[in-house]
């Protein structure tokens, strides 16, 4: 028997099915390719592109695209390409970290509320309360007011990073919590949970072994969408001038800085804006593909 | 239904009070000083007097209660008096919520700014809905056609491109390169004749376009999904079997039923569109309430920020309630009692 035949006979695992379905979603594959490309570019790009993002070369200011500066230079002669690469590092890092925090909080609240009946009502009231908060104004207020103490405690860049990530994380967990709670509630009624309970499984193992793996798919989908919203929120804060300090590039910051020169050098606005939009578009397409791939009703059609 | 509405309204009161307290707490915990922006030549004892006159000497809970009294009792009374031209409950020495920076009543500032925001935001919302509903209907009716694919792509783009980029982009294209529309929204413009009306229309095009793209992206997807759900229902087959015209089936039977969930989505998204307007106003320099909020935050103007943020919270709670009630009224299968 050949190897190929053996492989064909092997029972297909769930994740192989998911991957096969995901691959058939063209937008999701393109999005994934682009996202991986952007990630590699911002991680390894600055090592290969040896112009420092904050190197000021005033004689080469306001240049258009050229071989030496493929995206041109800004009003101080800093290389826009290097800045976009450095900004992408921060923006993506903020997106992923904020998403991780909001996912952790959302899953925790959702599982606790769904599994323990006594916690359900207070936790869901808390979720409703958070949903009623006007998020963007509050974000701006919190960042404006707590910027200085955190800056003093952790240094200008790290302080703002911690602040932005935490603030985005603790204001965006509510939707995950609601979805997870709904799924846990329906899982709890199923027979395998009853079986597991009848052999005396303690609650913590029940949650970790039986409940969590089964709510993984909605969590994964909201993770991808969470990255997208976190990137947009961070850029919006930076755009309004309340995020990172101005010598510390992020995509939103670059966009906001270049809007001041919009009528003279309109092309400079394009790069950071395009970077934000394409990354978010890619992540949204990945989320779309994942949702289809992880839904067993659609899979197999 | 009435019972449910009253219960929800009663429940909204503690929620809103709690939210206002949280906002107050955040603003109060912050180590910012409202006299920090004043010139350094002011001697410390005068500075202390200014702080006292702003009411900062009182304990925190007292200041919160004062804000509550001013906002929930004095301001509504004031509006009543202004409408009726009366002076009830000794209106001369009634304390209103006063801005730290401008020393004028916060509510007056907001009322001054509100028309600009409502014009731009409201118009864009209407335009967005008017585009989204036909797009959703056609995409669903011709599922997987080129129109549907294009619609999906455009709404994906609408989701992904943030307003601070699409706004800047349309300014670069239509205002810098082509010079068709002004890039700055001039709120001093008075519409008196045809020329100024045309001017007003021209300056509204760009901000309305940017905000409408976001609305359209959201609502056309909901419309499409809702239409698709209904198109496979038995009653549609019955209607067709009765020999009704396809037009009637689609636009009378299916559309009316599909609009039920979409109407609630439209109601739910109203507060978030105000939030998004904060950024769009900044891009187009519209001096609406979003810009007022940003100025207030940057100037450390606690009463202004407190009041505005609270109004945003009221909008969210109110429109959630409206959405739930509308759903109950429109869909007789939904009964809350």
Q: What is the pLDDT of residues B253-295, one digit of tens each?
A: 888 888 888 888 888 888 877 777 788 888 888 888 888 888 8
pLDDT of A22 above 60: yes
At residue A24, the 3 state secondary structure works out as: coil
pLDDT of A6 above 60: no
pLDDT of B3 above 70: yes
More confident residue, B87 or A110: A110
pLDDT in tens, B4-45: 888 888 888 888 888 888 888 887 776 656 666 666 777 777
Q: How far apart are the first and last CA of chain A?
A: 31
Has the ipTM of the complex gone over 0.85?
no
Which pLDDT score is estimated for A203?
A: 86
Task: Indicate which of A34, A122, A132, A142 best probes the interface with B, i.e. most B CBs within 10 Å of its own CB.
Answer: A132
Structure tokens at B143: 């599922």
CATH of domain A86-299: 1.10.3720.10
pLDDT in tens, B190-249: 777 787 788 778 888 888 888 888 888 888 888 988 888 888 888 888 888 988 888 888
A259: exposed, middle or buried (Cβ count in 10 Å: 0-12, 13-18, 19+): buried
Whether A284 has its CB under 8 Å from any CB of chain B: the answer is: yes
Q: How confident is the model at residue A10 (pLDDT cuts 50, 70, 90)?
A: low
At residue A79, the 3 state secondary structure works out as: strand
Whether B258 has its CB under 8 Å from any CB of chain A: the answer is: no
> B163: nearest CA in chain A?
A236
| Contact flag B168-A134 (C-beta cutoff 8 Å) | no
Q: Work out the percent of chain A whose per-residue pLDDT is above 70.
A: 87
Whether B200 has its CB under 8 Å from any CB of chain A: the answer is: no
| Contact flag A266-B26 (C-beta cutoff 8 Å) | no
Whether B271 has its CB under 8 Å from any CB of chain A: the answer is: yes
At residue B145, the 3 state secondary structure works out as: coil
Which pLDDT score is estimated for B152?
A: 85
pLDDT of B170 above 50: yes
pLDDT of A1 above 50: no
Please list, residue by residue across B169-191, b when 16 or more beta carbons sit within 10 angstroms of its beta carbon and e when fewer do: bbbbebbeeeeebbbebeeeeee
pLDDT in tens, A259-291: 777 777 777 778 888 888 889 889 888 888 888
Q: How confident is the model at residue A100 (pLDDT cuts 50, 70, 90)?
A: very high
pLDDT of B337 above 70: no
Q: How many C-beta neighbours within 10 Å does residue A66 have? A: 11
Residue among B172, B293, B316 whose CB faces A262 most closely = B172
> A238: nearest CA in chain B?
B164
Whether A30 has its CB under 8 Å from any CB of chain B: the answer is: no
Chain A nearest C-alpha distance from B244 (Å): 33
> A128: nearest CA in chain B?
B15
Helix (H) or strand (E) holding A109: helix A80-115
CA B128, CA B212: separation in Å to the nearest integer?
A: 4
pLDDT of A67 above 70: no
pLDDT of A48 above 70: yes
> B11: nearest CA in chain A?
A125
Structure tokens at B250: 């689609």
> B282: nearest CA in chain A?
A240
Which pLDDT score is estimated for A104?
A: 93
Which pLDDT score is estimated for A98?
A: 92
More confident residue, B41 or A238: A238
pLDDT of A105 above 90: yes
pLDDT of A11 above 70: no
More confident residue, B86 or A300: B86
Which pLDDT score is estimated for B161?
A: 86
pLDDT of A8 above 60: no
pLDDT in tens, B309-328: 888 888 888 888 888 888 88
Structure tokens at B210: 């940017």
pLDDT of A17 above 50: yes
Which pLDDT score is estimated for A199?
A: 92
Whether B305 has its CB under 8 Å from any CB of chain A: the answer is: yes
Mean pLDDT of B75-94: 70
Q: What is the dihedral of CA B20, B23, B25, B29, to 10 degrees?
A: -160
Lowest average pLDDT, out of A114-123, A159-168, B100-109, goes to: B100-109
CA-to-CA separations, A179 to A93, A97, A193, B221, B315, in angstroms, rounded: 25, 21, 19, 20, 24
CA B211, CA B275: separation in Å to the nearest integer?
A: 11
Please list, residue by residue across A104-116, b when 16 or more beta carbons sit within 10 angstroms of its beta carbon and e when fewer do: ebbbebbbbbbbe
Whether B149 has its CB under 8 Å from any CB of chain A: the answer is: no
Chain A nearest C-alpha distance from B88 (Å): 34
Q: What mean pLDDT value characterizes chain B?
A: 81
Which pLDDT score is estimated for A101?
A: 93
Polymer length of chain A: 301
User: What pTM, to 2 d.p., does this model score?
Assistant: 0.82
Q: How confident is the model at residue B57 (pLDDT cuts 50, 70, 90)?
A: low
Task: Indicate which of A35, A84, A87, A145 best probes the interface with B, i.e. most B CBs within 10 Å of its own CB.
Answer: A145
């Amino acid at each position: 028997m050949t190897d190929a035949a053996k492989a064909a006979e092997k029972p297909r695992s769930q994740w192989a099915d998911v991957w096969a379905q995901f691959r058939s979603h063209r937008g999701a594959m393109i999005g994934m390719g682009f996202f991986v490309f952007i990630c590699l570019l911002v991680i390894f790009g600055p090592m290969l592109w040896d112009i420092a993002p904050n190197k000021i070369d005033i004689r080469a200011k306001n240049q258009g695209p050229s071989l030496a500066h493929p995206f041109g230079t800004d009003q101080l002669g800093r290389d826009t390409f290097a800045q976009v690469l450095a900004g992408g590092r921060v923006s993506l890092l903020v997106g992923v970290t904020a998403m991780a925090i909001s996912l952790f909080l959302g899953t925790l609240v959702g599982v606790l509320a769904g599994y323990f009946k006594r916690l359900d009502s207070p936790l869901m009231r808390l979720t409703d309360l958070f949903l009623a908060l006007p998020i963007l104004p509050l974000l701006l207020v919190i960042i404006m007011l707590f910027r200085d103490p955190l800056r003093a405690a952790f240094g200008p860049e790290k302080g703002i990073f911690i602040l932005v990530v935490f603030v985005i994380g603790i204001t965006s967990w509510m939707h995950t919590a609601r979805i997870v709670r709904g799924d846990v509630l329906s899982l709890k009624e199923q027979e395998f949970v009853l079986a597991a309970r009848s052999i005396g499984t303690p609650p913590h193992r029940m949650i970790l072994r039986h409940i969590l793996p089964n709510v993984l798919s909605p969590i994964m989908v909201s993770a991808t969408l969470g990255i997208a919203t976190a990137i947009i929120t961070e850029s919006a804060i930076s755009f309004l001038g309340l995020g990172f300090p101005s010598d510390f590039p992020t995509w939103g910051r670059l966009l906001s800085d270049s809007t001041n020169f919009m009528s003279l050098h309109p092309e400079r606005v394009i790069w950071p804006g395009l970077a934000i939009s394409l990354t978010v578009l890619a992540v949204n397409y990945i989320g779309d593909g994942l949702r289809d791939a992880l839904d067993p009703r659609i899979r197999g059609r | 239904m009435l019972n449910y509405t009253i219960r929800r309204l009663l429940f909204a009161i503690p929620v809103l009070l709690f939210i206002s307290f949280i906002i107050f707490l955040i603003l109060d915990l912050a180590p910012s000083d409202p006299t920090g922006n004043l010139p350094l030549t002011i001697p410390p004892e005068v500075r202390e007097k200014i702080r006292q006159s702003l009411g900062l000497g009182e304990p925190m809970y007292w200041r919160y209660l004062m804000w509550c009294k001013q906002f929930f009792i004095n301001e509504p009374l004031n509006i009543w008096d202004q409408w009726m031209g009366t002076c009830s409950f000794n209106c001369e020495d009634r304390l209103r919520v006063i801005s730290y920076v401008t020393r004028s009543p916060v509510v007056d500032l907001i009322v001054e700014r509100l028309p600009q925001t409502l014009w731009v935001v409201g118009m864009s919302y209407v335009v967005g809905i008017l585009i989204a509903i036909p797009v959703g209907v056609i995409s669903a009716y011709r599922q997987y056609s080129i129109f549907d694919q294009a619609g999906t792509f455009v709404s994906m783009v609408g989701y992904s491109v943030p307003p601070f980029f699409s706004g800047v982009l349309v300014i670069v294209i239509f205002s810098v390169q082509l010079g068709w529309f002004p890039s700055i929204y001039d709120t001093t413009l008075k519409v008196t004749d045809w020329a100024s009306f045309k001017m007003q229309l021209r300056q509204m095009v760009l901000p309305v376009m940017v905000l409408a793209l976001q609305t359209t992206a959201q609502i056309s997807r909901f419309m499409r999904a809702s239409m698709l759900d209904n198109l496979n229902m038995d009653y549609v087959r019955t209607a067709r079997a009765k020999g009704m015209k396809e037009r009637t089936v689609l636009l009378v039977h299916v559309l009316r039923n599909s609009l039920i969930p979409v109407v609630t989505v439209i109601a739910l998204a109203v507060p978030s569109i105000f939030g998004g307007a904060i950024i769009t106003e900044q891009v187009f320099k519209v001096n609406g309430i979003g810009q007022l909020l940003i100025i207030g935050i940057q100037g450390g103007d606690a009463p202004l920020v407190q009041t505005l943020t609270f109004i945003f919270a009221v909008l969210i709670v109110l429109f959630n309630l409206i959405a739930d009630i509308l759903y109950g009224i429109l869909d007789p299968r939904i009964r809350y009692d």
